[in-house]
């Protein structure tokens, strides 16, 4: 029976939660899955039953600190990857992230070859130069199928290829991300976000919006919960001190992914106000909605795509703390509206972003390409 399982080689970062979810789900659906990554730990704890190969190059190269040359130096692992391909004899090679693993996969000249785009690979990467655009077009020209996680990003891909592009969203496990009824909560109303503390995610605008709310309602028991770590953590903490709201703000630092549903359930109003024009998708927003939490997002690319404006959440302009504060205020004192938005968000997650559904979309593409 094992020999009848189709073999899929995923060229993808093994430590990414998206790789982990997709690999495990595909394995559970009857595929033999192998993951090949660069500078990655042997993450067998989260990928039971799945073979992982990794190739180590300089950390700085792997992190892209040398710019375009990084992409070219991905070919350093090509001889190693060729040996892996010869060993496992995959039926499909599926590369995730066009400008790195996708580029690497093109040199194999393997058919069928699928490329999934994730975000920066089709937004910021091709905008850097003619060479970058040419590399992306080259990768797309070699791909038998191109997959996008959102309709917004699909439209962007059309600038670099005339091929059909299929949408396969990042899915959410709705059994894991759900309402936790026995969670002990305080009387405080918690406004929060779960995101890397990096410049592109606009957490400072959430903090400034919270300051507006606190100044307007100084006696109300509000709390700001910021979950995640990142480059700006100290700067953001200092900002809360400068604004006089440090006593009402909690920074959790890094939280293990398996604990994230607890924090989604602690948050009464989830806010994601990215400042990017090219935000590709909003996984954390979908997770929040799956937990029946009303959301507020900025009009940043694919973020608004995952929210039903005025039904499961509000969409506000980027970099506008005042507009964000107004949206928060609408939900703070209207528990009925929060419940309505939360229920509608859960329904949207069930309809469009349930993990098994998104995996089936991918499996159907695999079946089509193998027939």
Unique residue bearing structure tokens 């040359």: 69
User: What local confidence, expressed as pLDDT, does residue 70 receive?
Assistant: 57
Structure tokens at 22: 């997709």
User: What local confidence, expressed as pLDDT, does residue 49 receive?
Assistant: 80
Asked whether residue 284 carries a pLDDT value surpassing 70, the answer given is yes
Q: Is residue 264 part of a domain?
A: yes
Asked whether residue 161 carries a pLDDT value surpassing 60, the answer given is yes
pLDDT digits (tens, 9 = 90+) for 65-117: 445 555 566 778 889 999 999 999 999 999 999 998 999 999 999 999 999 99
Across 249-255, average pLDDT = 95
333, 365: one domain: no
Q: Is residue 182 part of a domain?
A: no
pLDDT digits (tens, 9 = 90+) for 33-56: 999 988 655 556 777 788 888 887
259, 139: one domain: no
Average pLDDT, the chain: 89
Range of the domain at 223: 189-352
In the beta sheet, which residues pair with residue 115? 95, 146
Closest CA to 288 of 193, 190, 355: 193
In the beta sheet, which residues pair with residue 316? 298
Q: What are the counts of helices (DSSP H) followed by strands (DSSP E) for the chain?
A: 14, 13
Q: For position 46, which CATH number holds? A: 3.40.50.2000
Give the DSSP letter of residue 74.
G
229, 150: one domain: no
346, 364: one domain: no
Greater confidence (248 vs 169) lies with 248
Q: Rounded to an integer, what distance in angstroms lies between the CA atom of residue 116 and that of residue 64?
A: 19
Give the DSSP letter of residue 311.
T
Percent of the chain, pLDDT > 70?
A: 93
Q: Rounded to an integer, what distance in angstroms lies between the CA atom of residue 250 and that of residue 218?
A: 17
Q: Is residue 184 part of a domain?
A: no
51, 130: one domain: yes
Asked whether residue 277 carries a pLDDT value surpassing 80, the answer given is no
User: What local confidence, expressed as pLDDT, does residue 187 receive?
Assistant: 84
Domain count of the chain?
A: 2
């Amino acid at each position: 029976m094992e020999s009848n399982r189709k073999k899929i080689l995923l060229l993808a970062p093994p430590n990414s939660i998206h790789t982990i979810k997709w690999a495990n789900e595909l394995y559970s659906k009857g595929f033999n899955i192998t993951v090949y990554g660069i500078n990655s730990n042997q993450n067998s704890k989260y990928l039971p039953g799945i073979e992982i190969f990794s190739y180590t190059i300089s950390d700085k190269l792997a992190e892209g600190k040398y710019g375009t040359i990084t992409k070219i130096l991905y070919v350093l692992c090509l001889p190693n990857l060729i040996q892996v391909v010869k060993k496992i004899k995959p039926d499909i090679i599926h590369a995730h992230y066009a400008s790195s693993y996708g580029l690497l996969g093109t040199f194999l000249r393997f058919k069928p070859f699928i490329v999934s785009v994730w975000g920066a690979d089709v937004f910021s990467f091709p905008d850097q130069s003619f060479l970058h655009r040419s590399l992306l077009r080259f990768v797309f020209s070699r791909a038998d199928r191109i997959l996008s996680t959102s309709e917004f990003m699909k439209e962007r891909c059309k600038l670099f290829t005339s091929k059909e592009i299929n949408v396969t969203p990042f899915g959410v496990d709705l059994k894991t991300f759900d309402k936790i009824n026995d969670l002990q909560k305080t009387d405080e109303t918690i406004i929060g976000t779960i995101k890397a503390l990096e410049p592109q995610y606009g957490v400072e605008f959430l903090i400034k919006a919270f300051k507006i709310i606190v100044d307007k309602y100084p006696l109300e028991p509000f709390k700001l919960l910021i979950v995640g770590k990142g480059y700006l953590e100290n700067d953001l903490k200092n900002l809360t001190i400068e604004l006089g709201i440090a006593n009402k703000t909690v920074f959790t630092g890094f939280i293990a992914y398996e604990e994230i549903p607890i924090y989604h359930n602690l948050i009464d109003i989830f806010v994601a106000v990215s400042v990017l024009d090219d935000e590709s998708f909003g996984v954390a927003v979908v997770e929040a909605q799956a937990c029946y939490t009303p959301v507020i997002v900025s009009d940043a690319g694919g973020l608004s795509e995952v929210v039903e404006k005025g039904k499961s959440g509000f969409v506000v302009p980027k970099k506008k703390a005042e507009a964000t504060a107004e949206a928060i205020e609408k939900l703070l004192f209207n528990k009925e509206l929060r419940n309505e938005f939360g229920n509608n968000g859960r329904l949207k997650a069930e309809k469009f972003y349930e993990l098994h559904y998104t995996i089936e979309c991918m499996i159907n593409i695999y079946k089509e390409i193998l027939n």
